[in-house]
Amino acid sequence: MYNIMDSMNCKNWDSMGATMKKRLSKIKNPTYRAVFLEDGGTRRSALGGWTVYTNEYKWWDPPPVRHSDGTTWSFVDGHAVYRKWTDQRTIVFGSKDPPTAFSEVQTGNEDIAWAAYACWGEDSRLPWQQ
């Protein structure tokens, strides 16, 4: 199962201080902005789209870990990559059965930082970009 990023005109989460994109011309770095990820069938925990917090080190939707503790992402410029998670906390949270949304705070988790940038990009107000 693939899910679209909430930031790509799926759901707007103004409370996170992030900006949804509705036009391709508004995306400044298409090489780094994800459109879809292979969700792995997390079912109810990712209803219609996938997102991650931009204002704290927490997972909103569970990170997919079905494929050797990683997943495939497609980007605005058309390329796709497989990314293996590097932080054990990501793998533990993504492996919960049944999957759940909203992780505990995982300060310093580089997987969250990477996913937040891929999802929300240069417009997000990520604490690690300030």
Q: Say what the pTM is.
A: 0.84
Local confidence pLDDT in tens for the 130 residues of the chain? 788 888 887 776 665 656 667 788 888 888 989 999 998 655 555 567 888 888 889 998 999 998 899 999 999 999 999 999 999 999 999 998 888 889 999 999 999 989 998 988 854 445 545 4
DSSP-derived 3-state class of residue 130: coil
DSSP string, 99-122: --S-PPP-TT-HHHHHHHHHHHGG
The percentage of residues in the chain with a pLDDT greater than 70, rounded to a whole number, is: 79
pLDDT of residue 25: 84
pLDDT of residue 35: 93
Phi and psi at 32, nearest 5°, equal -110, 0
pLDDT of residue 18: 65
